[in-house]
Chains A and B, each alone.
Chain A
Amino acid sequence: MDFSTILTYMYTEIALVGVIIAALLYDLIAGARGRKYFHGVMCTLMLLFIAGTVWPYQQENASIFGGMFVYAPIYSIVKSVLAIGTLLVFLLSDSWLRKPDTEFKRGEFYVLTLSTLLGMDFMVSAGHFMMFFIGLELASVPMSCLVAFDKYKHNSAEAGAKYILSALFASGLMLYGISFFYGTTGTLYFEDMVPMINGSALQILAMVFFFTGLGFKISLVPFHLWTADTYEGAPTPVTSYLSVVSKAAAAFALMVVLIKVFAPMVEYWQTLLYIVIVLSITVANLFAIRQKNLKRFLAFSSISQAGYIMLAVISGTPYGMTSLVYYVLVYMVANLAAFGVITAVEQNSDGKVNMEDYNGLYKTNPKLAIVMMLAIFSLAGIPPFAGFFSKFFIFAAAFEQGFHVLVFIALLNTIISLYYYMLVIKAMFITPNDSPIATFRSDNSTRLSLLLCLAGILILGLASSVFDGINLYAFGM
Chain B
Amino acid sequence: MTRDVLQGKILTILVQDFEFQQPDLDDNLRDVHGFDSIDAIELLGKIERVLGFPLTREEKEKAMEIRTINDILNYLETIQQGRAQ
Chain B associates with chain A: no
